[in-house]
Chain A
Amino acid sequence: MKRRDFLKGTAIAVAGASVPLAALDWIDAREAFAARDDLRWIFLVDTHKCVGCGFCVKACKYENNIPQETNATRTWVERYVMTRDGQVHADSPRGANEGFISRAIDRGTAGPLEIADEDITQAFFVPKLCNQCDLPSCVQVCPVGATYKTPDGVVLVDRTWCIGCGYCVMGCPYGVRFFHPIEHVAEKCNFCYHRIHRGESTACATACPFGARKIGNLRDPDDPVTKVVMTQRVGVLKDAFGTKPQVYYLGLNMEVR
């Protein structure tokens, strides 16, 4: 055998082995996309209606078996208080699992901050959850295919496949990911995927007494949530990151990050 043939042979063998077998069943993107164009789950949050009671957070934890006593939570509610001196104070004590029952802003070790009512110019609550992004960076960075996007637009985590490397936790610009305190794998909101496929609403939307949270289907023009998203001034969080989040907010303003 000539030296040249030897090198050629080796190169082919190594290159062939390094192509994952799955590459062979690559399919046409347009074809597959068209297959599920009737369903795309989205979420609508109305920040005017939210009163910061935190029932959504409590319900979510019960529904998805995340211990109430831990700080880990799939969804949480933030409080924003703007004062006359132009400052923005924000907090979310324990994710608002027990709701907002005090006027004082929680600043952790810096101690509570009391703000006089007359100094407040604006104040409201903003529920947060996974945005089930159209171009989810958490999925892009997952090295093993444990985090993925379903054809109906929900990003799921395969618990048997997650190796716990934490790339998705770092990759998500919204900080919605964490490690499950019991399962010890990457965890996040999945729009209660099990519930919405049985025709039920998500646990948080079910528990919310004020209708501040709603799940909808973007591909159904008669869906009440879709109608709001299409006809009203809705915003999304951190649009500049380009992940195309699919949780829409009514009454969002600049101070909310």
Chain B
Amino acid sequence: MNNHIWRPLYVVLALVAVILLVRAVYVPKDFGVHGGEGYMYGWYREGNVQEWKEWPSNYRTQSYCAECHFDQTEALVAAGHAAIQCENCHGPALDHPNEPAVLTIDRGRDQCLRCHARLPYPGSDRKHLPGIEPDQHNPGMACVDCHNPHNPSLEDM
């Protein structure tokens, strides 16, 4: 048989071989069907699950802060702001003891208005929170000028 019939077949086979070779080198061994739901949902690189598990936790929660700042967390717990995590205002605590400068304290007026701008919404617990009208209650001033955020009630100060 003539060469011109064989030649395209050789080209195709060579291409296929190259693709399979590249695939074998490039695709990690743990890439395949996992988890039992077939191609539709379980086709992935299994090592990635572990990679995500190793991501650092930036937020350390109040109990972590209490290890050093017990006086502050104690005051917080006694006052109306017990439910608020230190890190909501002070920023994520990861690396803080080693690098004190990483904490960025948010002292802005808007930080307090998140809860205390009065929104009388039926259907939401927001209506039960003590609220002010931002444009009438000392506009332009920082809340922390009068209120101690750790113990915000003026009567208790």
Contact = CB atoms under 8 A, between A and B. Distances in A.
B42 interface: yes
B58 A63 contact: yes
Interface stretch (A52-60, A84-92, A172-180, A215-223): A52-60
Contacts of B31: 22, 145
Contacts, number: 193
Contact of B110 (A21, A63, A101): A101
A67 interface: no
Interface stretch (A114-122, A181-189, A224-232, A233-241): A114-122
B71 to A, nearest CB: 21
Interface residues of B, number: 57
B43 A148 contact: yes
Nearest to B43: A145
A69 interface: no
A13 B44 contact: no
Given A30-B36, A160-B48, A200 B57 contact: yes
A123 B44 contact: no
A149 interface: yes
A169 interface: no
Q: Name the residue in B16, B34, B53, B59 with the highest tally of chain A Cβ atoms < 10 Å from its Cβ.
A: B59
Contacts of A17: 16, 19-20
A190 to B, nearest CB: 7
A99 B5 CA distance: 71
Given A136-B41, A148-B41, A193-B52, A48 B83 contact: no
A207 B121 contact: no
A33 B38 CA distance: 11
Interface in B46-94: 48-49, 52-59, 61, 83-85, 87-88, 91-92
B144 interface: no
A194 B59 CA distance: 12
25 contacts: A21-B20, A22-B43, A27-B33, A48-B125, A50-B125, A51-B115, A55-B84, A59-B59, A59-B87, A62-B87, A62-B92, A98-B114, A99-B115, A103-B119, A122-B122, A139-B41, A145-B43, A148-B44, A149-B35, A156-B52, A194-B57, A197-B53, A203-B59, A207-B85, A207-B87
Given A99-B110, A148-B35, 14 more contacts: A21-B23, A22-B43, A26-B33, A29-B38, A47-B124, A63-B92, A123-B119, A123-B123, A125-B124, A145-B45, A150-B35, A156-B52, A193-B52, A200-B57
Sorted from nearest, which 5 A-B pairs have the closest CB atoms?
Answer: A32-B36, A99-B114, A148-B44, A123-B121, A194-B55
